[in-house]
Amino acid sequence: MSQQLVTTAAAAPSTAAAQASGGSCDVLNLVLGPLHLDLLGLNVDLNQVVLNITSQTGAGNLVGSLLCAVTGLLDGGNGLNGLANLLNRLLGL
């Protein structure tokens, strides 16, 4: 059984600018290589599966805006400090 799993998660370079203009950002890019499954006599062969999830931001797109904001937490050079600052602000409330 050969299997290759490659996952990446990335956001647009400027999440705030994308939200202001009603843009979009990449949430997930998942590539599964060739798969062979033998499930009690049922054989399933997949050549390649590619899953791309993109969020749309803007008015009325609550889930899209939220996902772009979450994927953008580690952008902008803040790294984990940006996430820590956000969590500290939430605890302060």
Q: What digits encode the pLDDT tens for the residues 61-75?
A: 889 888 888 877 766
* Mean pLDDT, range 11-30, rounded to an integer: 62
Look at residue 30 and tell me whether its pLDDT is greater than 80. Answer: yes
Contact 71, 79 (CB under 8 A): no
Q: Regarding beta strands 5-8 and 42-46, do their DSSP bridges make them parallel or antiparallel, or are they unpaired?
A: unpaired
Contact 72, 15 (CB under 8 A): yes
Instruction: Give one word for 81, left, alpha or beta, with left for phi > 0 and alpha for psi -120 to 50.
Output: alpha
Q: What angle do CA 85, 89, 66 make, to 5 degrees?
A: 80
The predicted-structure confidence for 33-85, as pLDDT tens digits, reads as follows: 898 999 999 999 989 889 999 999 888 888 988 888 887 776 655 555 666 77
Residue scoring higher pLDDT (29 or 81): 29
pTM: 0.48
Q: What angle do CA 54, 59, 63 make, to 5 degrees?
A: 45
